[in-house]
Structure 1
Amino acid sequence: MHTTDSLRVAVIIGSTRAQRFGPTVAEWFHDHALEHGGLDLDLIDLVETGLSEVLGDPDDAVEALAPRLAQADAFVIVSPEYNRGYPASLKTAIDSYVDEWKAKPVGIVSYGGVSGGLRAAEQLRQVLGELHAVTIRDTVSFHSCWNKFDDSGRPLDVAGASAAATTLLNQLTWWARALRTARTAQPYPF
């Protein structure tokens, strides 16, 4: 239930590849966010949305996801880095919506090889800024992620990962409350 005290946060798993690592990272972050408290979380796995890789007229999948995004006070995108960028499935999901992103904060949790997905995160900042979203400066990133989680899906450096996630969530909730108050007081100009 969405109340004025709780914040609705959509956590989006950005990869749709068969052998993806995204659900491991996203489920850990989701659990950490639950412990953080005060959040009404909506875990959105792009595999389950039916969004196609081809943009066009709004279809049933786009229309079905729109209310979930519109109801969010904030977003956390969990993205891998593929070839120095983020996946096409995530680009499709972002580009299929406009108003749903406006004047809302977005945190980024990235993972990948040596860069930990940080190059994908920087590209996401550019795209999300164009949609009038506010990206959170601090991120959570997992370098060489396949070697950083145990068999139960928990980070091996749980203290470091938890500290980074807490910092991101503290900043995200501050921005979410401030922007929700501002949107309520006066519609965002565009």
Structure 2
Amino acid sequence: MYRQYLRQREAKMASGGKLKVLLILGSIRDGRQGLRVAKFMRRKLEERNFDVKFFDPLEMNLPLITQPVHFFGPERKGAPKVLVENEKHVKEADAYVIVSAEYNHNVPPSLTNLLDAFPCSDYSYKPSGLVCYSMGPYGGMRAAMALRAITGELGCLSVSNIFGIPTVQHAFDEEGNPQNDHMESGAKKMLDQLEWMAHAMKNHRDKVGTPS
């Protein structure tokens, strides 16, 4: 059955159909390692023919959100331009890949600030994949557990496989080139699940819509 799925996927790729994925980087700290991870993940997604949009809160110069975009009403009157312009990318995405550091055994505040800027309805009925890292031996797994709850509440539940990266400072060079075999195999396991779920959920959304 999986071989049949792969053949169907190849047929869709040949016809030009692309799934849209929003790649979200969480860290804005000086010397952050996450940008290397994000570069690697972007290449892996593009190899699978995903149409990738990248959210980097540092480059976006995202303010501290005092009111999420949906608090400005359906017309978004008076909402910050950065939120209005980027909400469409959250809505249009078929899947999300979240790259997160682990700060104090938890999720970086810059990441929750970004995710909470948009309503749950923008994320709902789509899958997400978690890529977590740390400079220690545990690969950011405590942040990943917190993100399981966050993505569940947003409605973009994460797939079961988490791509965890221990000692991230040794895992990639500055251009995101992997320095060991685990990076390729770890990304593949998570992305296999994410791609399957993204196709399945998009097909069902297109066929029957979503609950109001």
User: CA 1:154–1:55 in structure 2 vs 1: closer, same or farther (change >3 Å)?
Assistant: same
Tell me the percent identity. Answer: 31
Aligned to 2:108: 87
Match status 1:27 vs 2:71: no
SS at match of 1:163: helix
What's the offset of the Cα at 1:188?
2.0
Match for residue 156 of structure 1 among 179, 196, 199? 179
Q: Equivalents in 1 of 2:176, 2:203: separation in Å?
A: 36
Unaligned runs of 5+ in 1: none
Unaligned runs of 5+ in 2: 1-14, 70-79
Amino acid at match of 1:89: S
What's the offset of the Cα at 1:38?
2.4
Amino acid at match of 2:103: Y
What's the offset of the Cα at 1:185?
2.0
Match status 1:74 vs 2:95: yes
Greater percentage in strand: 1
Q: Is the 8 A contact 1:107 1:172 kept in 2?
A: yes
CA RMSD of aligned residues (A): 1.7
- What stretches of structure 1 move > 4 A for 4+ residues in a row? none
Q: Equivalents in 2 of 1:78, 1:161: separation in Å?
A: 14
Q: Equivalents in 1 of 2:42, 2:210: separation in Å?
A: 29
Q: Is the 8 A contact 2:129 2:190 kept in 1?
A: yes
Aligned to 2:190: 168
Greater percentage in helix: 2
Q: Is the 8 A contact 1:53 1:88 kept in 2?
A: no
SS at match of 1:17: coil
Q: Is the 8 A contact 1:75 1:106 kept in 2?
A: yes
Point out the structure with max Rg over C-alpha: 2
Match status 1:185 vs 2:190: no
Q: Equivalents in 1 of 2:116, 2:144: separation in Å?
A: 16
Q: Equivalents in 2 of 1:79, 1:14: separation in Å?
A: 5
Q: How many residue pairs were aligned?
A: 186
Aligned to 2:4: none
Match status 1:116 vs 2:116: no
